[in-house]
Each structure stands twice: as structure tokens, then as C-alpha cells.
Amino acid sequence: MHTVMRTLVMVGTVLWLLSLAYASKGTATFYNPPYVPSACYGYKDNGVNVAAVTNFFRVDKRSFFCGSLIWVKCIGGTNLLAPNPCTSSSVLVRVVDNCPTCQSTINLSKHAFSTIADPNAGKIKILMKFHVFA
């Protein structure tokens, strides 16, 4: 009985982790530099393609996937003033911070946001493919 329960927990954990590796839709905003300090790395510089995520990504009270890598692609605008803000690019960002008060799924660095969309849009619709462990 104990072995069966352990196996079920292990299978459930693997399925949960695999579910985090698929593409998901959401929205993105951006924040301006400086990108340090961050909740994950303090004053360590992680470059300009970084992001903060909302509590949606929180696993427990302490973690929100620090160091995870997320491919982000713009798929549309969210406001009438910039209906077609997307470029044809995608960007890979590293999660370095959390953003519990963000009005989007992910808050990209301005550099990362500018790679995939016109910053004048402010907020965009996105497709994300994320990997829990970087």
C-alpha cells in the first residue's frame, strides 16, 4: 500500500511538472531598468532579458520559479491605440523577481518587451512556453 501511494505521488508530481512545460497564453507588461536588486538574485546582474512573474506562478510561500526560462511571443494588442504592436520576434527571459501587484501574467524588462512588441502598447497578449528548471 505504501509503495502504491509513493508511486501515485511520484506520477502526480511528474505530470504536474510536465504540464508546466507547455505553451500558455497570458498578458505582458514591462518595467524599466535598473533590473537589480531582484527577489531571486539580489544585486547579481542577470542581463536585460529578465522578467518578474505574478503569484500565478507561485509554488509555495517562498518560491516563484526563480531562474526559470520562459519563451515569450507577442500574439496581439490589448488596447485600441496599438492594435498591432507585435514584431515577428520572440524572446527568452529568465525569472528574477516576483510581481504580486502586476496587472499582467508576466512583467518583462523593457528590453525584452521591446524585442517582441512596441512599448507604446503598454500591455500585450502573449504566448509563453516555460521551463520550471533552468
The pLDDT assigned to 101 comes to 84
Query: What is the set of domains in the chain, with CATH numbers?
Result: 23-131 (2.40.40.10)
The pLDDT assigned to 60 comes to 52
- According to DSSP, residue 120 is labeled G
pTM for the whole structure: 0.77
Separation in Å, CA 19 to CA 23, 24, 127 = 9, 10, 15
Among 113, 92, 94, residue whose Cα is nearest residue 104: 113
The pLDDT assigned to 6 comes to 63
From first to last of its 134 residues, what are the pLDDT tens digits of the chain?
556 556 655 544 544 444 445 578 999 999 999 999 998 899 999 999 999 988 666 555 555 578 888 999 999 999 888 889 999 999 999 999 988 888 888 999 999 999 999 999 999 999 998 765 44
Q: Where are the beta strands (DSSP E) in 50-111?
A: 50-53, 69-77, 90-98, 106-109
> Hey, what's the cell of 113?
518587451
Separation in Å, CA 60 to CA 12, 51, 83, 91 = 17, 19, 37, 27
